[in-house]
Structure 1
Amino acid sequence: MDKVTKSDAEWRAQLSDLAYKVTRRHGTERAGTHDDFPKAPGTFHCVCCGAPLFDQADKFESGTGWPSFTRPVDGVSGESVGESVDRSFFMRRTEVHCNRCEAHLGHVFPDGPAPTGLRYCINGVALTFEPET
């Protein structure tokens, strides 16, 4: 997958204020902001670069107020979604980002359902949805 690199000005011009704050500045949107995600089969893509990230079939209701998935579209191999340590807010969490453009997506926690036991807690503003055709 080819890396996507843009200047700060290019990201600001492309993204909404909230999408810029979340994806480029490691922000978090308010919980419950995206409770209307499509239920149809399809793929969630990075709002910044369009890379496929999560499949609708792996989405579940976590009760957290953010879209949650059991795994990235290519499994937990780390090809589409990368991880890094986040020590903000006096906590140690695992941040997840788009490997193609380094957009901050959210965090992954070890309290999800089968088959992975993982909960990828993702900011909805970091995603776009493409239905299956």
Structure 2
Amino acid sequence: MSYAGDLTPQEAWAKLEAGAVLVDVRTEGEWAHIGIPDTKSTENDPLFIQWTLAGGIPNPDFIDQLQQLAPEDAGVELVFICRSGARSIAAATAATQVGFTSYNVLEGFEGEPDRYGERTVNGWKNRGLPTNLGTA
């Protein structure tokens, strides 16, 4: 594994309560139409940095944006989340390569699709963790 590890949504929430920073790497459309994690009861606001841009094009400025927005405190851990846990693995790996301690949230924000294609099985939102509907 090329990053610090995988966390369940509940473990990720515990990390955030302990001072880690959530980095949501989904697209602007996902933030606006599906919702965002609500971390207002923790000490850190989430960061919203797209891993891919419209059309699935990789964000060439991802690392620069992360370095500009992430806290400069030594030892701050970053917890990456996407829709299902795939893009966040790539983002956590890239962040680790430039020196961040990075974790991936298993199941992502929406989780796996059920047999009807609806994302109701698991994930941050379906496990009842704090969520806001609307834009980042």
TM-score by length of 2: 0.27
Name the structure where strand makes up a greater proportion of residues.
1
Relative contact order, higher structure (CA 8 A, sep 6+): 2
TM-score by length of 1: 0.27
